[in-house]
Amino acid sequence: MASKPPVPPFTRESAIEKVRLAEDAWNTRDPERVALAYTVDSRWRNRAEFVDGREEIVSFLTRKWARELDYRLIKELWTFEGNRIAVRFAYECHDDSGNWFRSYGNENWEFDDEGLMRVRLASINDLPIKEEERKYHWPLGRRPDDHPGLSDLGL
């Protein structure tokens, strides 16, 4: 199995790097690429949905990004210890009717020794917003380094 640095135990710097790498991957909206960061038997709780293993992760993300259009995500480190990281995040997207949402949440992550995530527990709340209330305006893909993070945006 391939290693996915940085690997635990995490330092503050390596935890921040791990969070940014996860954000970057999710902003590709490429389910196959994103799934490679997880163990083959990874377990997720995403809202009320339970996902087991990479195949189900790919299916879940394919469905997610088919309905969450123009998806842009920012993640921020909350805390870390050993092989665990907690993050908070917010993403913006719209549905096929043009209704915009900002979704806020927290994730608890647990990694194996190779740096692959084996557990992801996510709690998420959706807030309808008007298009003019959007805060994420970078081109689809990786958030530019000079774009404000969650704390800078007051989120």
CATH of the domain at 66: 3.10.450.50
Alpha carbon distance 87, 89 (integer Å): 7
Q: Over 70: is that where the pLDDT of 74 sits? A: yes
Percent of the chain with pLDDT over 70: 99
pLDDT digits (tens, 9 = 90+) for 82-138: 999 999 999 999 999 999 999 999 999 999 999 999 999 999 999 999 999 999 999
Q: What is the mean pLDDT of residues 46-51?
A: 96
Task: Please give the pLDDT value at position 2.
Answer: 80
Q: Over 80: is that where the pLDDT of 1 sits? A: no
Structure tokens given for 93 = 């997207």
Task: Please give the pLDDT value at position 122.
Answer: 98
Specify the number of domains making up the chain. 1
Residue 141: inside a domain: no
Residue 110: inside a domain: yes
Domain that holds residue 18: 12-133
Residue 60: inside a domain: yes
Provide the greatest CA pair distance for the chain. 45
pLDDT band at residue 140, thresholds of 50, 70 and 90?
very high
Residue 103: inside a domain: yes
Task: Please give the pLDDT value at position 63.
Answer: 98
* Residues sharing a CB contact under 8 Å with residue 43, sequence separation 6 or more, in sequence order: 50, 51, 52, 118, 119, 120
Task: Please give the pLDDT value at position 50.
Answer: 98
CB of 34 within 8 A of CB of 46? no
